[in-house]
Structure 1
């Protein structure tokens, strides 16, 4: 696999508990491989595809929360939901961008919201974390930070990202915490996603469409 084929990008939003769970699996890889960490606005991605998030659908919302907690307990990951969900993640995303999208910043923000169960929906709620990351408050709301997050989101949509977390392996997209093993297998054995049946599925005809 060439260096471009092996290039890894991770698209995520702090609003997603599944992204928090996936981060626990991805983080140990950072010492072995270069992974570009790309914070994106999940709400804008949903809007671009005309979709609702799971937390916007009654019944599915409650099931998703319990499923997340079950997965965390199964995997031995400490998880505590923030005071309200869904919440506005823009302050947390912009803090990540202002901090340089470093693994340390990503870890600190996920830890704050999803391990400690703290609010992450405003600069005020994140004030102690901002100080700890040594980020100037003005940088979080700056035009350059906002533009960078917008560019991240637009590039994700252009790449075909439709949900978070998504790990891109040489341009192939693997969506969700539960797709991690699939992504690793594709990274180690690219021929398995390049065989004829896998390729045929990309062009599989639609048999019926639901009426609006």
Structure 2
């Protein structure tokens, strides 16, 4: 089945987690999969963290604090959320390789560039070795690949980014990295002891919608 790391450039936590995941992707232990987080939210009928005002403030502070803690440069783009589709498609057009992923992440989150501005996208395309940003972004093959990635994430049960999928289990968020590593080393970890029984805990009450 393999391990898949699902991410979107709109997420500062995806950027922070990429710093830890990149060696695993480069070593071939994990496949990095760009997806459209907004499409996941739409399919599940839920709001994104940045769509809830007080949660938005909290996650921005949390991201900045985690970056400081981890010694990772983080500079917010001019506006957030922004439309990540063009950047995601450029990444897919460039093969979604570790260098391509890193290049896009760094432009948006280390340099603080607008991830959906045409001039930035033109510059990104040049860095990625793509001759024409507009053509790459509009390429039907690229669009289909990104859509297929997102559909695969939904089929796996992904509800947020970044998420690592290992042996049918999901690990969400930058702060879950230690648990992710443990599960990568021992895929049977979640089938042992108390960790194995969480799915069987009964739901006591359900909120009416």
TM-score, normalised to structure 2, is 0.94
Which residue in 1 is equivalent to 2:203?
A: 206
Cα distance in 1 for residues equivalent to 2:94 and 2:58: 34
Which residue in 2 is equivalent to 1:189?
A: 186
Matched, 1:147 2:144: yes
Which residue in 1 is equivalent to 2:153?
A: 156
Cα distance in 2 for residues equivalent to 1:31 and 1:99: 16
129, 133, 144: which one aligns with 1:134: 129
Which residue in 1 is equivalent to 2:25?
A: 30
169, 192, 197: which one aligns with 2:166: 169
Which residue in 2 is equivalent to 1:17?
A: 12
Cα distance in 2 for residues equivalent to 1:119 and 1:19: 16
Cα distance in 2 for residues equivalent to 1:36 and 1:210: 37
Which residue in 1 is equivalent to 2:35?
A: 40
Structure 2 unaligned residues grouped into runs of 5+: none
More helix by share: 2
Deviations 1:144-184 (CA, angstroms, capped at 9, x unpaired) = 11111111101100111110000112322111101111011
After TM superposition, give the deviation of residue 196 of structure 1 in Å.
4.3
Aligned residue pairs: how many? Answer: 207
Which residue in 2 is equivalent to 1:120?
A: 115
After TM superposition, give the deviation of residue 91 of structure 1 in Å.
0.5
Check conservation: 2:26, 2:98, Cα contact below 8 A: no
Task: Identify the range of structure 1 (18-27 vs 130-139) with the bigger mean alpha-carbon deviation.
Answer: 130-139
Which residue in 1 is equivalent to 2:76?
A: 81
Cα distance in 2 for residues equivalent to 1:85 and 1:30: 27
Check conservation: 1:79, 1:114, Cα contact below 8 A: yes
Which residue in 2 is equivalent to 1:96?
A: 91
Check conservation: 1:91, 1:122, Cα contact below 8 A: no
Check conservation: 1:92, 1:122, Cα contact below 8 A: no
After TM superposition, give the deviation of residue 92 of structure 1 in Å.
0.5
Structure 1 unaligned residues grouped into runs of 5+: none
